Amino acid sequence: MTSKPRHAATATSPLGLLLITGAVATVGLLIVAPLASVFVDAFSNGPQAWWEALAHDPDTRHAIWLSLTVAPIAVLINTIFGVAAAWLVARFRFPGRSLLVSLFDVPFSVSPVVAGLALVLIFGRQGLLGPTLAWLAVKVIFAWPGLVLATTFVTLPLVVRELIPVMEAIGPEEEMAAVSLGANGWQVFWRVTLPNIRWALLHGVVLANARAMGEFGAVYVVSGHIAGATDTMPLRVEKLFQEYRTPASMAVASVLAALALLTLVAKVFIERQLETESKELEAARAPGADTDPTTGGLGP
């Protein structure tokens, strides 16, 4: 008995069919049905009503605009942080390195609500910096800087976690070669590192953006939920729902869901690129491949 027929037999065997049915039912009921119903419900009164719910409500318009401002700022901050942190962790060894890596993951295990509360305790009117901020006439909580801070916190691990494994897999040899040829830091980064990590970076950015656009808990706490001022799109969804305007709420939700689908398409595309590149890397590393004398000694 060879392995191929056995493998093929499992897919069509009763047990195989049962397992497939179970998996399809799981994904279908838990994921596809809700997703489909967003669009069905959003367009149940026709595209005209959908468009009016989005474009003719000034508060909703403002929420869309605010989300499109806050999310890119948070993603930009996280991109800079992610690249710096990945460079630090993947290219240098220093005391406290593993502690630092575990700190990157902390936002994953802290409830967004708790994170928002911590920001209120620092920047709120009765917070640590409250009097200073009042004196400077700067508003953080119940204003967009608080939204940016909260969104940055919850998306903090996403870019750096994508970059570290890729940068460790590529290794520092090409960058060291560039340095030894006289390139300065920026040249090394723009010409060697960035081209190597571009797909992983994009992957992280896409994921961070999706999370940033959709963040609810942390943003809810710091925003004060002021319609037309500090409501982002997800908060607008909730407010419309609370006001028993479910169709309008669904219309906003459908925009967010469409964005999520777009994110997934981009993700699948980027992952395919990443796979190709890691295969190329493996082929280049394979024994017998034409290796550069400067890196040859480092191979496994």
Partner 1 sequence: MNTPPTPSSSNRREGPPADGFSILRPPSPPIRRARHRTVLPGFGISAAITSLMIVALVVIPLAVLILRAASLGPTGFLAAAWTPRARAAYAVSLGSSLTAAIISSLLGLLVAWVLVRLEFPGRRILDALVDVPLALPTAVAGLVYSTLYVEKGWLGQWLVPVGIKGAYSLLGIVLVLVFVSLPFAIRVVQPVIESLDKDTEEAARLLGASRSQTFFRVVLPGILPAVVTGFALALARALGEYGSVVFISGNMPFKTEIAPVLIVSRLEEFAYAEATAIAVVLLGMSLSMLVVVNDLQQRLVRNSQ
Residues in 44-73 at the binding interface with partner 1, rule: CB under 8 A? none
Residues within window 137-166 making contact with partner 1, judged by CB under 8 A = 149, 152-153, 156
Pick from 121, 227, 274, 281 the residue near partner 1 by CB under 8 A. Answer: 121
Nearer Cβ to partner 1 (33/55): 33
Residue 11: which H helix or E strand, with range?
A: helix 3-12
The residue within the footprint of partner 1, chosen from 118, 143, 227, 274 (CB under 8 A), is 118
Structure tokens at 297: 């000694």
Write out the binding residues for partner 1, residues 198-257 only, by CB under 8 A. Answer: 207, 210-211, 213-217, 220-221, 233-235, 237-238, 241, 246, 249-250, 253, 256-257
Considering the complex, what minimum distance in angstroms separates the CB of residue 56 from partner 1?
21
Nearer of residues 57 and 174 to partner 1, judged by Cβ: 174
Provide the 3-class DSSP secondary structure of residue 273. helix
Binding flag, residue 180, partner 1 (CB under 8 A): yes
Cβ 104 to partner 1 shortest distance, Å = 8
d(CA 24, CA 176): 49
Could you tell me if 47 and 259 are in contact, meaning their C-beta atoms sit under 8 angstroms apart?
no
Distance of alpha carbon 24 from the chain centroid: 26
Question: Mapping DSSP to helix (H, G, I), strand (E, B) and coil, where does residue 183 land?
Answer: coil
Q: Which residues are within 8 A (CB) of 148 and not within 5 positions of it... i.e. 6 or more apart?
A: 70, 73, 74, 77
- Residue 53 CB, shortest distance to partner 1, in Å, is 14
Q: Is 10 in the site for partner 1 (CB under 8 A)?
A: yes
Site for partner 1 in 81-100 (CB under 8 A): 81, 84-85, 87-88, 91-94, 100
Cα 219 to Cα 74: distance, rounded to the nearest angstrom? 12
